[in-house]
Structure 1
Amino acid sequence: MIPIQTYMYRRRRLLAQMQRGVAVIPTASEKLRNRDAHYPYRFDSDFYYLTGFREPDAVLVLIAAEDESASRQILFCRDKDPEREIWDGFRHGPQAAQEMFGFDAAHAISTLDALAVEFLADQPAVFHAMGQDPAWDQRIVGWINQVRGQIRKGVAAPTEIRDVRALVDEMRLIKDDYELAVMREAARISCQAHRRAMRAACPGKHEYEIEAELLHEFRRQGAQAPAYAPIVAGGTNACTLHYVDNHSLLQAGDLLLIDAGCEYDGYAADITRTFPVNGRFSGPQKAIYELVLAAQAAAIDAVQPGNSWDAPHQAALRVLIQGFIDLGLCHGSLDAVMESEAYKQFYMHRTGHWLGLDVHDAGEYKQAGQWRHLVPGMTLTVEPGCYIRPAEGVPAHFWDIGVRIEDDVAVTSAGHEILTQAAPKSIAEIEEWMQCTTITEK
């Protein structure tokens, strides 16, 4: 558990960056799935990052003053309601929430509209994620207009609406020690799930049966949910980057690509492993797999403080392109293939993304038009791949081979830490691990 003092510190940091003004940060709302059944609830990441509060129908209001001691941290949340709690579960209520989560004040969510107009009076700016939710945009503008209606009373309305995400995203980009500890646990659980899936896979099973093994292990180990819809793609399905049907029959001689990670206390893991359904790589499969593995190793080596965000991608790309040339998939010199982008027939995505509270986490990749530099605390995925669809001029023995290898990596002062090392990755590790038929592992 991340200490409440950490959330309070984050709010103070945001207030200091705001200087003057009011931030309004709502959490996610509950969503109907169909009729009166809801999707499983998941809080808004920015709201949770600043509060640690997991209930729906809640809003964080921060009032930044020139005198830091006059700044205010206020929570709006649901009232205590014993009758509703019988049906829907525990609610903190404003009083308990204020004490437990370290706010200066807390109010019933039903009072937000009236109090927001008071808070915005004589403030220069409102900080809000404009464009994210049209209903909230309208609500914010409505409050500002109500303040403007008091102009004859000498009350000034905010003249600017600033995107609060520009500030919070930069904060979220650098993980603290508590966040990294949670992410290590998400990674550990996800590695266990991949190990379980490898041992469960065999010809004649369906992709969804292997998906069930993943989901079982996530929950068995204490994760709250998958961080995203798992990809369990056998054979040619692995050549579809975001394949999520997971219904095909696994065939002997095919590879199985699994892209799956759990969410633990709000933080995501994101791992991809590719392995043979029958436990043994064929010659062509081994050639492609070793190429992607070498590309990933080069990319991980480039995850160093001071290197640009683009450095791991460029390192992986050069290894892949040379391999494509050596295997007869591309023709010409490395530089010529890179310039023509002929390699994109087999590798069409970038080599990673930020990772954290969101699987594609907050943070810009460029600053002032240039790739930003890596610094300790950043966490990212490293995931090169190769996807070979049947096509004229492509050697037939490579057809329908799809390989991606993905690990979660934290930048450290000394270089990097691979959070997901425990999921078997080398050919020898995978083939040895798959020889055992039991899937029960502690």
Structure 2
Amino acid sequence: MTKAQLSKLPLSDFAKHRAAFITKMANNTIAIFPAASELTRSNDTEFAFCQNKNFYYLTGFNEPDALLVLVKNEQGEARSILFSLPKDPLHEIWQGRRIGQIKAVEDYGLDKCFEVKDIDALLPDYLNGKSQVFFSFSDLAFAHHTLSAQVFIWLKQVKSRSRQGVQTPQCLMDSDPIVEELRLIKSDNELALMRQANHISGLAHQRAMQKCQVGKFEYQIEAEILHEFAKHGARHPAYASIVAGGDNANILHYTANSDALNNNELLLIDAGAELNGYAADITRTFPINGKFTPAQATLYQLVLDAKNLAINAIKPGMTFAKLNILTNAFLTQGLLDLGIFHGDINELITDKKIKQYFIHGLGHWLGLDVHDVGDYQSNEKREQTRVFEPGMVMTIEPGLYIPLDDLSVEQKWRGIGIRIEDNIAVTATGFENLTANSPQTIAEIETLMAKS
């Protein structure tokens, strides 16, 4: 077995996720979760399938057009019912094997599994007499309708039988907040999987540094990254890779990756692997020719020191709001010392002058999604006051972006865009940096690139 295979979550973990959700349901309620559908890319070809992450979190089932139903009776006893596509020999010849209803029950810890064609006939019976219906209010697609529209169709079917003593649920509940809170705290197995996704991503960033040369194109370096991902079992990137040379790094979500790499410029790469559903999100910035210029090195070290300052402060009880205050003050002082900012340090901090060059937030939750779910508990000032707890995973990614056309600064600073991003798990006593094998100091980067 490869490390990637060893890192796959056991199916019993998904049963634990369902049980955790069920404990949040009142007795005599029902919850409905749709799988994703395949999306057409062009004509008769589809995009690579990506499962609905809440559905995946509760099932581990990776086929399209399925539906999970959790039913909790008046005594608190619960059942998990799946509706999924049937076994189909002709389909399986052309497009691959399906799990089918028998294996779904045997392997996935479900109580029952029916074919999707039976949903409209069976679901009204499950809805009958329930006090609440949980489903996502995010208007996900299901069965050619939005999920909310489909739920109302089923409820209408129930109501049409009221003369026969059937009772329609009166209370609709959003399931998203419950699932999102569960997903925010990672289990030991989830953390192990995310370590492996980070390890693979770190190898890809090493490869990018080693293969980088003046005159190559950004897309060629992107290809090296994707190669390293797939080589270790991560068949897909967690998001569209950013490979941005020179001033392109000042475009935060640059994904064209089409330009040539020029001498004496930096290359910013924001790329992470997805492994068995879980994402890594790593950014590294390094000199295309393997050697930082003095100006590049000065700004790079400032960003690196800011990142390390923020990470070292992470522990239970910390918040993004406090980390932002710490980091923004540090970067502001740094730019003042370099003559990029002018004036009184306290006024610069109060005026949030740093947002001129540090445009985005310091970090975000990470997990099944790159920008993962979970309440930040932002206040009216947009300060993220959610207290960190063990099991949370986040990115820390300070940056400085000075566009080529910024005539307010000296020429040596223009066209430099730098971001350095690590993935951090909160532990009982502090933090664990999951991004352990991706070079980031100036000496590490220049030494690695000198060997290529």
Query: In which range does the TM-score fall when normalised by the shorter chain?
Result: over 0.9
Distance 2:165 2:215 in 1: 76
The residue aligned with 2:251 is 240
**Residues 129-182 of structure 1: per-residue CA shift (max 9 Å, x gap):** 123325222111111111112222222211122110110000000000010011
SS of the residue 1:84 aligns to: helix
3-state secondary structure, aligned to 2:81: strand
> Comparing 145-154 with 230-239, which one deviates more in the overlay?
145-154
C-alpha RMSD of matched pairs (Å):
1.3
Task: Give the match for residue 82 of structure 1.
Answer: 89
Distance in 2 between the 1:342 and 1:382 partners?
20
Residue of structure 2 equivalent to 1:388: 402
Matches within 5 A, 1:176-255: 176-255=187-266
Q: What secondary structure sits across from 2:146 in the alignment? A: helix
Q: Which of residues 417, 420, 442 is equivalent to 2:432?
A: 417
Q: What SS class does the counterpart of residue 267 from structure 2 fall into?
A: strand
SS at match of 1:335: helix
* 2:176 partner letter: R
In 2, Cα distance between equivalents of 1:329 and 1:274? 21
Are the aligned partners of 1:95 and 1:106 in contact in 2 as well (CA < 8 Å)? yes
Comparing 20-29 and 364-373, the one that deviates more = 364-373
Contact 1:301–1:312 under 8 Å retained in 2: no
Query: 1:339 and 1:77 mapped to 2: Cα distance?
Result: 56
After TM superposition, the structure 1 stretch with the greater mean CA deviation from structure 2, 51-60 or 193-202, is 51-60
1:163 aligns with 2:174: yes
> Are the aligned partners of 1:224 and 1:265 in contact in 2 as well (CA < 8 Å)?
no
Deviations 1:387-442 (A, max 9, x none): 001323212210000000000000001210000121000000000000012xxxxx
Q: Aligned runs of 1:33-432 on 2, under 5 Å? A: 33-68=41-76, 70-133=77-140, 135-366=146-377, 371-389=385-403, 390-432=405-447
3-state SS, counterpart of residue 310 of structure 1: helix
Q: TM-score scaled to structure 1, two decimals?
A: 0.96
Distance across 1 between alignment mates of 2:152 and 2:228: 46
- Residue by residue over 1:246-290, the C-alpha shift from the partner in whole angstroms, topping out at 9 and shown as x without a partner, is 011100100000000000000000000000001110011011101
Q: CA deviation at 1:220?
A: 0.6
Pick which of 41-50 and 134-143 moved more. 134-143
Q: CA deviation at 1:345?
A: 1.4
1:302 and 1:311 in contact (8 A); partners too = no
Distance 2:56 2:415 in 1: 42
Q: Does 1:32 align with 2:61?
A: no
User: Does the aligned pair in 1 maintain the 2:311–2:396 contact within 8 Å?
Assistant: yes
Alpha-carbon shift at residue 324 of structure 1 (Å): 1.2
Aligned AA (1:4): L
* Matched AA of 1:86: I
Whole-angstrom CA distance in 2 between matches of 1:398 and 1:388: 7
Aligned to 2:449: 434
Any conservation in 1 of the 2:83–2:114 contact (CA below 8 Å)? Answer: yes
CA distance in 2, matches of 1:65, 1:317: 52
CA contact (8 A) 2:139 2:146 kept: no
Which residue type is aligned with residue 351 of structure 2? S
| Cα distance in 1, alignment partners of residues 101 and 322 from structure 2 | 48
Whether contact under 8 Å (1:299, 1:311) holds in the other structure is no
Shift of 1:80: 0.9
Residue in 1 aligned with 2:3?
A: none
Specify the code of the residue in structure 1 equivalent to 2:184: L
In structure 1, list runs of 5 or more residues that go unmatched.
Answer: 438-442
Normalised TM-score (structure 2):
0.94
Compute the displacement of 1:332 (Å): 2.1
- Report how far residue 314 of structure 1 moved: 2.2
Q: SS where residue 434 of structure 1 aligns?
A: helix
Partner AA of 2:308 in structure 1: A
Counterpart residue identity of residue 108, structure 1: E
Report if aligned partners of 1:303, 1:311 keep a CA contact under 8 Å in 2: no
| Per-residue deviation, 1:64 | 1.8
- State the identity %: 44
1:323-366 C-alpha deviation (Å, 9 max, x unpaired): 11111222223321122122211111111000000000010101
**Aligned twin of 2:5:** none
Matching residue's letter, 1:408: N
**Deviations along 1:302-339, whole A, 9 cap, x unmatched?**
21111123222222211111111111222223321122
8 Å CA contact 1:410–1:417 kept in 2: the answer is: yes
5+ long unaligned stretches in structure 2: 1-7
Tell me the number of residue pairs that the alignment of Structure 1 and Structure 2 aligns: 436
Amino acid in the other structure paired with 1:420: T
| 1:367 shift after superposition | 7.1
**What SS does the aligned partner of 1:356 have?**
coil
One-letter identity of the residue aligned with 2:243: V
1:216 and 1:306 mapped to 2: Cα distance? 40
SS in 2 for 1:33: strand
